[in-house]
Amino acid sequence: MKHVDVTDFRLTPGQILLNATVVGVIIFLCSMLGIWTRPSGLLAAFWPANAVLLGLFVRLPKLAHPLGWGAAFLGYLTADLITGMNWELSVFLTAGNFAGVAMGVFLFKQLAEKHRLLKQPLSIIYLILVTLAASVAAGIVGMAGFPYFFDGLAKDGFIYWFATEWANYLAILPVMLTLPRLRLGLIRLRRKQDCHLINLHQGLALLALILGMGLGVVIGGPGALAFLVPGLLWCALTYRLFTTALVILCSNIWVMLTISTGLLDLGVNVRDFLILESFRMGLALQSLAPLAVASVMNARNELVEQLRHLATHDSLTHILNRPGLYEKMQPELLSKKPYALLMCDIDHFKLVNDQYGHACGDLVLAEFAKRTSACLRESDIFARVGGEEFCILLTDCSHHIASDIADRICQACSNSPFQLNESIQIDVTVSIGLVYFDEQQSFSIEAILSLADEALYDAKESGRNCVVMNLASA
């Protein structure tokens, strides 16, 4: 399914120029890193610039402005020229870089956001296909210029460009696409769990990967790369998708650097052209298994979270239900702070259902939840516990604050009619039973709810549309 990005504003010339400058600087630095890891000839142990540029343009489409492309071109060209490359060769290499990136940007735009961000298992297949096409585009350019610039066969140029690009795309793009809240290079973590201390299980997964790296160096041989697989799979089962992608990238960088420096001996001549490209392709394909596992785990975790939300929330009013209330109340009751519990009941709600139908009754419930939520503090806990019964836990409050909030809820309902549709509006009132605890006591949740029910009963007996408060600690 094609996804269309919509922006609510136009960038100013200054913002466009700033974005282009950021792109140019990033590509220059990434190109310099790639050149630094290229010990001889065209053997680049790690070339991140193209994958980073593609990731930037996919995650932040506003960067893919013509000035952004121009800045990227200057970034590539500058890095090549200051390291001694002639301008003709630099332009040729940059053309190959642009061919792959442009193809990738075009194809990623055809995908839904969930697939661009690798949130579904099928997303990995799309990633393979898009990067495959982007690598082929770069390979075609390489095939065209390889005989002229390197005095080699056209097919060798295609193989070299294709294998190198695909290996780097598959290693780097997953990190770029899953990077939490990318904003012009600044990372904002979505959840506090992203920066929590590594627990034992996570530490063992990382240790297994490091152990595999060490065994590869010590034992060597063609099978040394496979020693990384158990650790990578363990990490995929343990870490979040972004963390797993980052671990895969770091392990690939380590492999490429150790082979290029001779630390890791595969028992074959990696300087041989075909063996080198076979190695790069194998390394890229080896990354897909743990990445796919991590994507499956990510989809599973999101599904579990959705099921948990459904189990603890009311589908009509979108507030907590009774199980959700119990879950939220338990830690609050252990906090040793004063609190109040409000039990609310919509007056004569059965008459609404009988006279206007259950559909209108549902609208009343939803509107009551909306008006009540506007009266509460952010820390308060609001739940629907029965047909027309609602419960509110006011945390860390005085009995005066609790009474004021209860009065506001009554007024919010009675001051203006509930508009059910264009022709029907009805007056709605609510009765509230309030129980206040000025210090922590050994009441169970059921006992607290029972005390609130008693106060609610007194409110109904007192004529409804009122608040009855009971200082339970007295």
- Of the two residues 49 and 252, the one the predictor is more confident about is 49
- Of the two residues 194 and 105, the one the predictor is more confident about is 105
**Exposed, middle or buried, 43 (CB in 10 Å: 0-12/13-18/19+)?**
middle
Residues of the chain with CATH 3.30.70.270: 322-471
- Give pLDDT tens digits for 116-145: 999 888 999 999 999 999 999 999 998 888
Q: What is the pLDDT of residue 224?
A: 85
Q: Which amino acid does the sequence have at 193?
A: Q
CA–CA separation, 296 and 235 (whole Å): 13
| Cβ–Cβ under 8 Å, residues 288 and 211 | no
Interhelix angle 358-373/349-356, rounded to 10 degrees, is 140
| Cβ–Cβ under 8 Å, residues 246 and 175 | yes
- For 178, other C-beta atoms within 10 Å of its C-beta total 25
| Cβ–Cβ under 8 Å, residues 424 and 360 | yes
Q: What percentage of the chain carries pLDDT values higher than 70?
A: 90
Q: Which residues pair with 381 in a beta bridge?
A: 393
Q: What is the pLDDT of residue 6?
A: 40
Decide if domain 322-471 falls under CATH 3.30.70.270.
yes
| Two structure tokens written together for 441 | 């006591």
Q: Residue for token digits 């956001």?
A: 113
| Cβ–Cβ under 8 Å, residues 406 and 432 | yes
Kindly state the helix (H) or strand (E) to which residue 381 belongs, with its residue range: strand 381-384
| Cβ–Cβ under 8 Å, residues 235 and 290 | yes
Q: What is the pLDDT of residue 99?
A: 95
Region 410-431: what's the mean pLDDT?
91
Phi/psi for 391 (5° steps) reads: -125, 140
CA angle 47, 179, 9 (to 5 degrees): 105
- Count the residues in the chain: 474
Q: Running DSSP on this structure, what letter comes out for residue 12?
A: P
Q: What is the pLDDT of residue 331?
A: 85
Q: How confident is the model at residue 51 (pLDDT cuts 50, 70, 90)?
A: very high
- Give pLDDT tens digits for 194-227: 444 457 778 899 999 999 999 988 888 888 888 9
CA–CA separation, 14 and 158 (whole Å): 40
- Give pLDDT tens digits for 327-363: 999 888 877 788 999 999 999 999 999 999 999 999 9
DSSP output for 258-303: HHHTTSS--SS-TTSHHHHHHHHHHHHHHHHHHHHHHHHHHHHHHH
pTM (two decimals)? 0.72
